[in-house]
Amino acid sequence: MVTTPHGTVRGRYEQGVAVFRGIPYAAPPVGPRRFRPPEPPEPWDGVRDAGAFGPTAPKPPYSEAFAQYLADPAVAGDDCLNLNVWTPEPGPAARLPVLVWLHGGALTRGSSGVPVYDGRTFARDGVVCVSVNYRLGVEGYGLFPDAPPNPGLRDQLAALRWVHETITAFGGDPGNVTLCGQSAGAISTGALIAAPQTQGLIRRAVLQSGPPEASERDRVRRMVRRMATRLKIPATAAAFAAVDRDLLLRTQAEVGRLSSPVLGGPAFGIVVDGDLVPRDPLQALIDGEAARGVDLLMGWTRDEYRLWLVPGGLVEHVNRLGPVALAGAMARCHVGHEVPRGYRALHPDAGTAELVGQMVTDHLLRIPLHRLADARPGSSYLYEFAWPSRLPGLGACHALELGFVFDTADVPESAKLAGEGAPQELCDAMHSAWVRFAATGDPGWQAWDATHPVRIFDDDVPHIAYGPRDTEIDLWSAAPTVPEPSPASDIRAPGAELASAVRRLRRSVGARRR
């Protein structure tokens, strides 16, 4: 049993590790608290059982195409602002390093209860692991005139404050906290380390396949407005709160069907709000205004795009679209013909889907992380996960590294993406690097400098590649930027023909998905 500021919880010992699940760090976001910043939970009397995962945030299920690869358990209930703790040694004497995990899922799906995220392996190796549930979709990231922005990000901040105030009782050191996330969780991590309110709460950060970024407010507003149009209600938080939650989730899933990293389109995201996110997080971090002294471990998978395009047979479809798909990628990345021509010259045997996927990955992910590492040499470490899934077509796709980071590649939910027989040696290498970084700030390889060292995780002997993506990234600095036209732009405006191409691509892919 451990006493928290709100009451005592009883966990379980499992394989020598003490586990506490479903601990509330904020009050249930229902009634007048819906669409509002989180509030402290009501204290409880007696001992609260913490043996099972708590409720997950409301979310639609993955489509059938993605569900075959990604696990996303749902637990019913309103008390979804909860977290889990795995610790080898409860009690204030231990003062162990702490890793706080933020799950991915495009800010619309995912939870802390995915079996791949079992924190037992970190606790086994001397790190207290905390995983967090937070509000998703329109309830976490909708933009309304009558509610504050970014409630889901504010949930994460509340969880960090809970960790700072409480983790000592679980054996953790509040002065040695590593915030770690993948995909949307990494984007959230980037926003939080740049936030003024987290000063003193985070010592280190891990960004897996997600850069610090703020979404355009109009992109989020369009998502809300399209939902409001379908629901025939005003685009206000009050009106959305009156809608049946299941209907709200179905509408959200339908409106977001054409949104993806490759296609763009309206989507939920973190926005600049003048408070928790006072300016673009990436630029704040590059300028050195935020997160001084925070060590960074950042990276990507070699074939991120394959999880975006392989489900549903979209790789073959994009290859058939050929020039239309390339034009769509140019519009998505705001560049002219010079960049795709350069990629084609560097990769003459690649299909259109591979060129489009790698272009978009570089634009959205690798270039921002390069820029951030360049601004913070000596305290930044970069990696590339290059081991290919044993399932056809996936390659080293987005999210594949998760079972290796957590050393859970042997659980069935990891095998859904990796296939059977993932190499344990690679699990050991990657997991131990994350443990070492959480404990010391050094994952075990050369820090970023002018030689651009990148640790490659694959089947080979551990090795460093110097500037493995520099040739492609250099194409962008030499190419002029094509502005994105507004919806009201004249068809002859610069870039309008590319915008028309990406609209045709979205319609074509949407028809394919249906």
Residues with catalytic function: 183, 304, 398
Q: Which two tokens stand for residue 424?
A: 């344990």
Phi, psi of 409 (to 5 degrees): -65, -10
Residue 256: which of 216, 214, 227 has the closest Cα? 227
- Let me know: does 302 contact 396? Beta carbons within 8 Å: yes
**Could you tell me what percentage of the chain is helix, strand and coil, using 3-state DSSP and rounding each to the nearest 5?**
40, 15, 45
Q: How many CA atoms lie within 13 A of 379 on its CB side?
A: 14
- Let me know: does 398 contact 183? Beta carbons within 8 Å: yes
Max CA separation in the chain (angstroms): 70
Residue 340: which of 502, 476, 506, 497 has the closest Cα? 476
Neighbours of 498 (CB within 10 A): 24
- Let me know: does 296 contact 369? Beta carbons within 8 Å: no
- What is the amino acid identity at position 35? F
**Quick one: 483 exposed, middle or buried, by C-beta within 10 A (0-12, 13-18, 19+)?**
exposed
Neighbours of 490 (CB within 10 A): 7
Burial 245-260 (b: 16+ CB within 10 A, else e): eeebbebbbebbebbb
Q: Which two tokens stand for residue 267?
A: 């989507």
Q: Which two tokens stand for residue 86?
A: 């795995």
Within 41-175, where are the H helices? 64-67, 120-124, 137-141, 151-166
Query: SS3 sequence, 123-151?
Result: HHCCCEEEEECCCCHHHHHCCCCCCCCCH
Distances (CA, A) of 420 to 118, 406, 409, 411, 425: 19, 17, 9, 10, 15
Helix (H) or strand (E) holding 360: helix 352-361
